[in-house]
Amino acid sequence: MVVNMKEMLMKAKNEHYAVAHFNINNLEWTRFILEACEENRSPVILGVSEGAIKYMGGYSVVSSIVYSLVKELEIKVPVALHLDHGSSVLSCKKAIDAGFTSVMIDGSKYSLEENVLMTKEVVSYAHPKNVTVEAEIGAIGGEEDGVANEVLYATVEDAVALSKTEIDFLAPALGSVHGLYKREPNLNFERMKQICEITNLPLVLHGGTGIPDEQIKMAIHCGICKLNINTELQIAWTNAVRTFLGANSEVYDPRKVIKSGEDAMKEAIKKKLELLGSIGKA
Ligand code: 13P
Protein backbone atom coordinates (compact mmCIF):
# COMPACT_ATOMS: atom_id res chain seq x y z
CA MET A 1 0.00 0.00 0.00
CA VAL A 2 1.67 3.23 -1.16
CA VAL A 3 0.59 6.11 1.11
CA ASN A 4 1.80 9.52 2.23
CA MET A 5 3.63 9.89 5.54
CA LYS A 6 0.92 11.64 7.53
CA GLU A 7 -0.78 8.75 9.23
CA MET A 8 2.35 6.65 9.70
CA LEU A 9 4.25 9.47 11.42
CA MET A 10 1.30 10.67 13.53
CA LYS A 11 0.89 7.09 14.78
CA ALA A 12 4.63 6.92 15.50
CA LYS A 13 4.45 10.24 17.37
CA ASN A 14 1.50 9.11 19.48
CA GLU A 15 3.00 5.70 20.25
CA HIS A 16 6.61 6.91 20.73
CA TYR A 17 8.49 5.00 18.07
CA ALA A 18 10.09 6.04 14.76
CA VAL A 19 9.65 4.95 11.16
CA ALA A 20 12.76 4.19 9.11
CA HIS A 21 13.50 6.11 5.95
CA PHE A 22 15.83 3.95 3.85
CA ASN A 23 17.36 5.43 0.71
CA ILE A 24 16.93 3.37 -2.44
CA ASN A 25 19.34 3.21 -5.35
CA ASN A 26 17.96 0.60 -7.70
CA LEU A 27 15.23 -1.98 -8.22
CA GLU A 28 16.91 -4.69 -6.18
CA TRP A 29 17.42 -2.50 -3.09
CA THR A 30 13.80 -1.46 -3.30
CA ARG A 31 12.73 -5.10 -3.34
CA PHE A 32 15.02 -6.07 -0.42
CA ILE A 33 13.72 -3.20 1.73
CA LEU A 34 10.07 -3.86 0.90
CA GLU A 35 10.40 -7.58 1.64
CA ALA A 36 12.22 -7.00 4.93
CA CYS A 37 9.60 -4.50 6.12
CA GLU A 38 6.70 -6.68 5.03
CA GLU A 39 8.20 -9.64 6.89
CA ASN A 40 8.54 -7.50 10.02
CA ARG A 41 5.11 -5.86 9.64
CA SER A 42 6.73 -2.44 9.74
CA PRO A 43 5.73 0.74 7.89
CA VAL A 44 8.57 2.12 5.78
CA ILE A 45 9.63 5.22 3.90
CA LEU A 46 11.55 4.79 0.65
CA GLY A 47 13.69 7.91 0.33
CA VAL A 48 15.09 8.84 -3.07
CA SER A 49 17.71 11.54 -3.54
CA GLU A 50 17.90 13.56 -6.74
CA GLY A 51 21.19 11.77 -7.48
CA ALA A 52 19.50 8.38 -7.16
CA ILE A 53 16.60 9.55 -9.33
CA LYS A 54 19.05 10.56 -12.05
CA TYR A 55 20.91 7.26 -11.67
CA MET A 56 17.71 5.21 -11.96
CA GLY A 57 16.51 7.06 -15.05
CA GLY A 58 14.08 9.70 -13.80
CA TYR A 59 11.19 10.44 -11.44
CA SER A 60 8.65 8.31 -13.29
CA VAL A 61 11.05 5.35 -13.49
CA VAL A 62 11.48 5.38 -9.71
CA SER A 63 7.76 5.71 -9.22
CA SER A 64 6.99 2.83 -11.61
CA ILE A 65 9.51 0.59 -9.86
CA VAL A 66 8.06 1.27 -6.41
CA TYR A 67 4.37 0.99 -7.34
CA SER A 68 4.98 -2.14 -9.44
CA LEU A 69 7.00 -3.90 -6.75
CA VAL A 70 4.43 -3.09 -4.07
CA LYS A 71 1.77 -4.62 -6.33
CA GLU A 72 3.68 -7.67 -7.57
CA LEU A 73 5.12 -8.55 -4.15
CA GLU A 74 1.72 -7.96 -2.51
CA ILE A 75 3.19 -5.59 0.04
CA LYS A 76 0.54 -4.77 2.64
CA VAL A 77 2.50 -2.57 5.04
CA PRO A 78 2.27 1.22 4.51
CA VAL A 79 5.00 2.38 2.13
CA ALA A 80 5.74 6.06 1.45
CA LEU A 81 7.65 7.14 -1.65
CA HIS A 82 9.54 10.25 -0.57
CA LEU A 83 11.80 12.73 -2.37
CA ASP A 84 14.88 13.18 -0.16
CA HIS A 85 16.44 16.68 -0.11
CA GLY A 86 14.45 18.18 -2.98
CA SER A 87 16.67 21.11 -3.95
CA SER A 88 14.04 23.21 -5.74
CA VAL A 89 10.32 23.76 -6.05
CA LEU A 90 10.54 22.33 -9.57
CA SER A 91 12.13 19.09 -8.34
CA CYS A 92 9.34 18.64 -5.77
CA LYS A 93 6.68 19.29 -8.40
CA LYS A 94 8.26 16.74 -10.75
CA ALA A 95 8.25 14.13 -7.97
CA ILE A 96 4.63 14.88 -7.08
CA ASP A 97 3.55 14.70 -10.72
CA ALA A 98 5.32 11.34 -11.03
CA GLY A 99 3.38 9.86 -8.10
CA PHE A 100 5.66 10.42 -5.10
CA THR A 101 3.48 10.52 -1.99
CA SER A 102 5.78 12.77 0.02
CA VAL A 103 8.51 15.32 -0.68
CA MET A 104 11.21 17.09 1.24
CA ILE A 105 11.93 20.64 0.17
CA ASP A 106 15.40 21.48 1.39
CA GLY A 107 15.76 25.24 1.40
CA SER A 108 18.20 25.10 4.29
CA LYS A 109 21.05 26.64 2.32
CA TYR A 110 18.99 29.77 1.64
CA SER A 111 17.98 32.58 3.99
CA LEU A 112 15.09 31.85 6.35
CA GLU A 113 12.82 34.10 4.26
CA GLU A 114 13.67 32.27 1.04
CA ASN A 115 13.37 28.89 2.72
CA VAL A 116 9.90 29.84 4.02
CA LEU A 117 8.82 31.10 0.58
CA MET A 118 9.90 28.00 -1.34
CA THR A 119 8.49 25.70 1.33
CA LYS A 120 5.11 27.47 1.17
CA GLU A 121 5.05 27.06 -2.60
CA VAL A 122 5.69 23.33 -2.30
CA VAL A 123 3.04 22.94 0.41
CA SER A 124 0.43 24.67 -1.75
CA TYR A 125 1.23 22.33 -4.67
CA ALA A 126 1.49 19.17 -2.57
CA HIS A 127 -1.41 19.30 -0.13
CA PRO A 128 -4.30 19.42 -2.65
CA LYS A 129 -2.73 16.28 -4.17
CA ASN A 130 -2.58 14.53 -0.79
CA VAL A 131 1.22 14.66 -0.74
CA THR A 132 3.00 15.38 2.55
CA VAL A 133 5.89 17.84 2.93
CA GLU A 134 9.05 17.79 5.05
CA ALA A 135 11.28 20.87 5.34
CA GLU A 136 14.72 21.49 6.82
CA ILE A 137 16.17 24.23 8.96
CA GLY A 138 19.80 24.57 10.05
CA ALA A 139 22.30 22.44 8.15
CA ILE A 140 22.99 18.72 8.37
CA GLY A 141 26.72 18.14 8.15
CA GLY A 142 28.77 15.70 6.09
CA GLU A 143 28.36 14.74 2.46
CA GLU A 144 25.60 13.09 0.46
CA ASP A 145 25.51 12.67 -3.32
CA GLY A 146 28.45 15.04 -3.63
CA VAL A 147 26.78 17.82 -1.61
CA ALA A 148 28.93 18.75 1.42
CA ASN A 149 27.87 20.85 4.42
CA GLU A 150 29.16 22.07 7.77
CA VAL A 151 26.84 21.37 10.73
CA LEU A 152 24.67 24.38 11.55
CA TYR A 153 22.38 23.92 14.57
CA ALA A 154 18.79 25.02 13.96
CA THR A 155 17.46 27.66 16.34
CA VAL A 156 14.06 27.30 18.00
CA GLU A 157 12.92 30.64 16.49
CA ASP A 158 13.79 29.59 12.92
CA ALA A 159 12.20 26.17 13.42
CA VAL A 160 8.98 27.81 14.61
CA ALA A 161 9.01 30.22 11.66
CA LEU A 162 9.39 27.35 9.17
CA SER A 163 6.73 25.27 10.94
CA LYS A 164 4.18 28.01 10.19
CA THR A 165 4.29 27.14 6.47
CA GLU A 166 1.87 24.25 7.16
CA ILE A 167 4.52 21.62 6.55
CA ASP A 168 3.72 18.16 7.87
CA PHE A 169 7.18 17.32 9.26
CA LEU A 170 10.25 19.23 10.26
CA ALA A 171 13.90 18.24 10.01
CA PRO A 172 15.79 20.56 12.37
CA ALA A 173 19.54 20.06 11.98
CA LEU A 174 20.80 19.51 15.51
CA GLY A 175 24.27 18.06 15.07
CA SER A 176 23.80 15.02 12.82
CA VAL A 177 25.83 14.44 9.65
CA HIS A 178 25.32 12.50 6.44
CA GLY A 179 27.78 9.65 5.95
CA LEU A 180 30.28 8.49 8.55
CA TYR A 181 30.90 10.52 11.72
CA LYS A 182 34.49 11.63 12.27
CA ARG A 183 33.83 11.84 16.03
CA GLU A 184 30.99 10.98 18.42
CA PRO A 185 27.83 12.85 17.30
CA ASN A 186 26.92 15.82 19.45
CA LEU A 187 23.13 16.09 19.17
CA ASN A 188 21.29 18.88 20.96
CA PHE A 189 18.49 16.87 22.61
CA GLU A 190 17.30 19.75 24.75
CA ARG A 191 16.58 21.86 21.68
CA MET A 192 15.05 18.88 19.88
CA LYS A 193 12.55 18.49 22.70
CA GLN A 194 11.82 22.21 22.78
CA ILE A 195 11.21 22.33 19.01
CA CYS A 196 8.97 19.29 19.24
CA GLU A 197 6.92 20.79 22.07
CA ILE A 198 6.52 24.21 20.46
CA THR A 199 5.85 23.14 16.87
CA ASN A 200 3.99 19.93 17.77
CA LEU A 201 5.22 18.43 14.48
CA PRO A 202 6.70 14.96 14.00
CA LEU A 203 10.47 15.59 13.72
CA VAL A 204 12.92 13.99 11.31
CA LEU A 205 16.51 13.05 12.08
CA HIS A 206 18.86 12.87 9.08
CA GLY A 207 22.25 11.19 9.11
CA GLY A 208 21.06 8.06 10.92
CA THR A 209 24.23 6.08 10.19
CA GLY A 210 26.70 5.97 13.05
CA ILE A 211 24.51 7.51 15.76
CA PRO A 212 24.87 5.23 18.81
CA ASP A 213 21.71 3.25 19.66
CA GLU A 214 21.23 5.01 23.00
CA GLN A 215 21.28 8.39 21.28
CA ILE A 216 18.71 7.22 18.73
CA LYS A 217 16.43 6.10 21.58
CA MET A 218 16.92 9.47 23.26
CA ALA A 219 16.09 11.25 19.99
CA ILE A 220 12.83 9.29 19.72
CA HIS A 221 12.06 10.31 23.30
CA CYS A 222 12.64 13.95 22.27
CA GLY A 223 10.22 13.83 19.32
CA ILE A 224 11.98 12.13 16.40
CA CYS A 225 9.44 10.08 14.41
CA LYS A 226 11.46 9.43 11.25
CA LEU A 227 15.10 8.36 11.04
CA ASN A 228 16.93 8.63 7.70
CA ILE A 229 19.37 5.82 6.94
CA ASN A 230 21.48 5.55 3.81
CA THR A 231 25.20 4.90 4.36
CA GLU A 232 24.63 2.03 6.79
CA LEU A 233 22.81 -0.05 4.17
CA GLN A 234 25.38 0.86 1.54
CA ILE A 235 28.14 -0.47 3.80
CA ALA A 236 26.22 -3.64 4.75
CA TRP A 237 25.50 -4.43 1.10
CA THR A 238 28.94 -3.55 -0.27
CA ASN A 239 30.82 -5.51 2.40
CA ALA A 240 28.76 -8.63 1.66
CA VAL A 241 29.23 -8.28 -2.10
CA ARG A 242 32.97 -7.71 -1.68
CA THR A 243 33.27 -10.88 0.41
CA PHE A 244 31.15 -12.85 -2.08
CA LEU A 245 33.22 -11.74 -5.06
CA GLY A 246 36.45 -12.44 -3.20
CA ALA A 247 35.34 -16.02 -2.59
CA ASN A 248 33.66 -16.55 -5.99
CA SER A 249 35.92 -15.05 -8.63
CA GLU A 250 34.30 -17.17 -11.37
CA VAL A 251 30.87 -15.51 -10.97
CA TYR A 252 29.85 -12.94 -13.61
CA ASP A 253 26.04 -13.09 -13.51
CA PRO A 254 25.03 -9.61 -12.23
CA ARG A 255 21.93 -11.05 -10.57
CA LYS A 256 24.11 -13.27 -8.39
CA VAL A 257 26.42 -10.38 -7.56
CA ILE A 258 23.65 -7.97 -6.55
CA LYS A 259 21.75 -10.69 -4.69
CA SER A 260 24.83 -11.61 -2.65
CA GLY A 261 24.22 -8.47 -0.57
CA GLU A 262 20.56 -9.26 0.09
CA ASP A 263 20.84 -11.13 3.40
CA ALA A 264 23.26 -8.64 4.94
CA MET A 265 21.02 -5.77 3.94
CA LYS A 266 17.89 -7.43 5.29
CA GLU A 267 19.66 -8.16 8.57
CA ALA A 268 20.76 -4.52 8.90
CA ILE A 269 17.20 -3.38 8.15
CA LYS A 270 15.70 -5.67 10.79
CA LYS A 271 18.16 -4.43 13.42
CA LYS A 272 17.19 -0.84 12.67
CA LEU A 273 13.45 -1.59 12.79
CA GLU A 274 13.94 -3.26 16.19
CA LEU A 275 15.83 -0.24 17.49
CA LEU A 276 13.20 2.20 16.21
CA GLY A 277 10.36 0.11 17.67
CA SER A 278 8.38 -0.07 14.42
CA ILE A 279 8.14 -3.86 14.15
CA GLY A 280 4.50 -4.99 14.18
CA LYS A 281 3.25 -1.38 13.86
CA ALA A 282 1.96 -1.74 10.27
P1 13P B 1 23.23 8.55 6.41
O2 13P B 1 23.83 8.32 5.06
O3 13P B 1 24.19 9.14 7.36
O4 13P B 1 22.59 7.32 6.95
O5 13P B 1 22.09 9.67 6.23
C6 13P B 1 21.00 9.44 5.40
C7 13P B 1 20.14 10.63 5.26
O8 13P B 1 20.03 11.45 6.15
C9 13P B 1 19.38 10.79 4.01
O10 13P B 1 18.66 11.97 3.96
Question: Which stretches in the chain have pLDDT values below 50?
Answer: none
Look at residue 33 in the predicted model and tell me its pLDDT.
98
Look at residue 147 in the predicted model and tell me its pLDDT.
73
How far, in Å, CA of 45 to CA of 245, rounded?
30
- What is the distance in A from the centroid of ligand 1 to the CA of 148? 12
Look at residue 144 in the predicted model and tell me its pLDDT.
77
Say if pTM beats, i.e. exceeds, 0.95: yes
Chain-centroid distance, C-alpha 265: 16
For a ligand 1 pocket test, name from 19, 21, 23, 149 the mutation site with the most ligand atoms within 8 angstroms of its C-beta.
Answer: 23
Q: Own/partner pairs for 213-217, CB < 8 Å, 24+ apart?
A: 213/275, 215/185, 215/187, 216/18, 216/275, 216/276, 217/275
Query: Which amino acids bring their CB within 6 angstroms of ligand 1?
Result: 23, 47, 84, 178-179, 206-209, 228-232
Structural domains of the chain in order of their starting residue, each with its CATH number: 6-276 (3.20.20.70)
Instruction: Check residue 48 and report its DSSP letter.
Output: E
- What is the distance in A from the centroid of ligand 1 to the CA of 205? 9
Look at residue 183 in the predicted model and tell me its pLDDT.
84
Q: Per DSSP, which regions of the chain are E strands?
A: 19-23, 44-49, 79-86, 102-105, 132-137, 141-144, 147-149, 169-172, 177-178, 203-205, 224-229
How far, in Å, CA of 151 to CA of 74, rounded?
41
Look at residue 202 in the predicted model and tell me its pLDDT.
98
Specify whether 145 is catalytic. no
- What is the distance in A from the centroid of ligand 1 to the CA of 230? 5
Look at residue 106 in the predicted model and tell me its pLDDT.
97
For a ligand 1 pocket test, name from 108, 229, 275 the mutation site with the most ligand atoms within 8 angstroms of its C-beta.
Answer: 229
Please check whether residue 118 is in contact with residue 105, taking contact to mean a CB–CB distance below 8 angstroms.
Answer: yes
In tens, the pLDDT along 196-239 reads 999 999 999 999 999 999 999 999 999 999 999 999 999 999 99
How far, in Å, CA of 144 to CA of 81, rounded?
19
Instruction: Give the chain's radius of gyration (CA, Å).
Output: 18
Please check whether residue 139 is in contact with residue 152, taking contact to mean a CB–CB distance below 8 angstroms.
Answer: yes
